[in-house]
Amino acid sequence: MNATSATLDKSIDEFAHAGLEKAECSTIPCSRVAHAPAALECKVTQILTLEGAENYAVFGEVIGIHMRDDCMVDGRFDITTFQPLTRLGYRDYSVIKDVFALSRPDD
């Protein structure tokens, strides 16, 4: 993940730079990380220009989903099967190890 954040020339293959195997997407013409626990294929639906220099909000629609079978538990995707990293801000990260559910007040 960190290796792919490098500023690279557009002629450099980020997959090769990071040592990642690529797989082709099913519904869009691009590659995804082959052995990622999950990958979403999306198409852009709207780009909004925000205040400030080069600030945009990009919205999309998920049109394809890939989930590894070993990450499925009782028919649900279980992120504790692979302990993903989360980006917190600055240069801080964390590992997800525990997950809990909260009932909503109207449930």
Q: Where are the domains of the chain?
A: 3-95
Is a pLDDT exceeding 90 seen at residue 69?
yes
- For residue 58, the number of C-alpha atoms closer than 13 Å in the C-beta half-sphere is 6
In this prediction, residues 80-103 reach a mean pLDDT of: 92
14-58 residue pLDDT tens: 999 999 999 999 999 999 999 999 999 999 999 999 999 999 999
pLDDT at 103 over 90: yes
Q: Which CATH architecture has domain 3-95?
A: Roll (2.30)
Q: What is the per-residue pLDDT for 2? A: 84
- φ, ψ (nearest 5 deg) of residue 91: -120, 30
Q: Taking all residues of the chain, what is their mean pLDDT, rounded to a whole number?
A: 94
Query: How many C-alpha atoms does 104 have within 13 Å on its Cβ side?
Result: 2
